[in-house]
Chains A and B, each alone.
Chain A
Amino acid sequence: MSGAELDAALLEELRLRSRLNALVHERAEAVREAEKLDARATLAGADAELPEVAGRWRAVAERVTREIEEHRTALRSQEAVVARLRAPREPT
């Protein structure tokens, strides 16, 4: 194992965790926006297009959910890479 290889693997894992944090926040905002527009759409005089706009935010949330799962899968793989690089070598 080279130190540089391990450092690169560790950095990639940190990048994935950071990106997952950002994506979970992004999905939460999309869900909140959709819920807010759904509620506004029930008010008297509400614009008829609000439910459709809310639907677009829900679509964003679904897309981000898929992206989260892709990144989580990548994180699991990266964890395995790091674990292999950090494990002691078997005696030859």
Chain B
Amino acid sequence: MVTALVIVVVLLVAAGAAAAITRSRASEPKRALPPQRTPVEEERALSGDVRSLKPRDVVAYEGTDYLIDRTIHFDEDGFTWQEHLLIDAVSGKKLWLSVEDDEGVEVAIYEPVAGVDLEPGPASVEHAGTTFKREERGHARFRIERSDEQIPESGQMEYADYSAGDKLLSFEKYGSGGWEASTGSVISEHVLDLYPSK
């Protein structure tokens, strides 16, 4: 009987203390919530997110406005990245914009190498007086999304990436086609001005 009485008293005291704490917290002035987004995330939300680019978006780069003509989505065993074909309607110039989100966003701009018989294979490749060292080589599934809303193409591709300091040399091979080479460099996403389509 005494034990039961002690338990009841303890429970009542605990309930009273909890109610007092609750009242005390409720009467405290509300603290400002910590920011939900980092400054970079804020900027992406406002100015456009390079990771969400899609056909018909506009990318302004080095004073030129490029339309995204198509986006290729790659998937290699769950690791994904995108490449966007940028076309300047005025000059006809074409660039590829590569976007990877792997422990930070990495953005690179590539230009196709025309008229040169280049192939990957050895651990290093010479091009335009530069020796590029092989970084990685692999296969990926791809899906092409076009601005003209045609049925997306998809399939398998092979790639090989080389680098020499800031310079990049990339090889891609789609289906039974030959190797396509392009040179490029890593850029900051903040040098791009994005004008998203609706």
Chain A at the B interface: mostly helix, strand, loop or mixed? helix
B196 within 8 A of A: yes
Q: Which of B65, B89, B193, B195 counts the most A-chain CB atoms under 10 A from its CB?
A: B195
Name the one of B67, B90, B198 contacting A18, with C-beta atoms under 8 angstroms.
B198
A32 touches B195 (CB 8 A): no
- Give chain B nearest CB distance to A48 CB in angstroms: 27
Chain B residues with CB under 8 A of A24: 58, 65, 67, 89, 195
Instruction: For chain A, give the interface size range.
Output: 20 to 34
Interface size on B, residues (CB 8 A): 18
A68 touches B89 (CB 8 A): no
- A31-B89, A31-B90, A82-B46 given; A17·B198 CB < 8 A: no
A21 touches B196 (CB 8 A): yes
Provide the bound-state CA to CA distance between A28 and B92, in Å.
10
- Nearest 7 A-B pairs (CB), nearest first? A28-B89, A21-B195, A20-B195, A24-B65, A24-B58, A17-B195, A21-B58
Using a CB–CB distance below 8 Å, which chain B residues touch chain A? 42, 46-48, 56-58, 60, 65, 67, 89-90, 193-198
Using a CB–CB distance below 8 Å, which chain A residues touch chain B? 10, 13-14, 17-18, 20-21, 24-25, 27-28, 31-32, 61, 68, 72, 75, 79, 82, 86
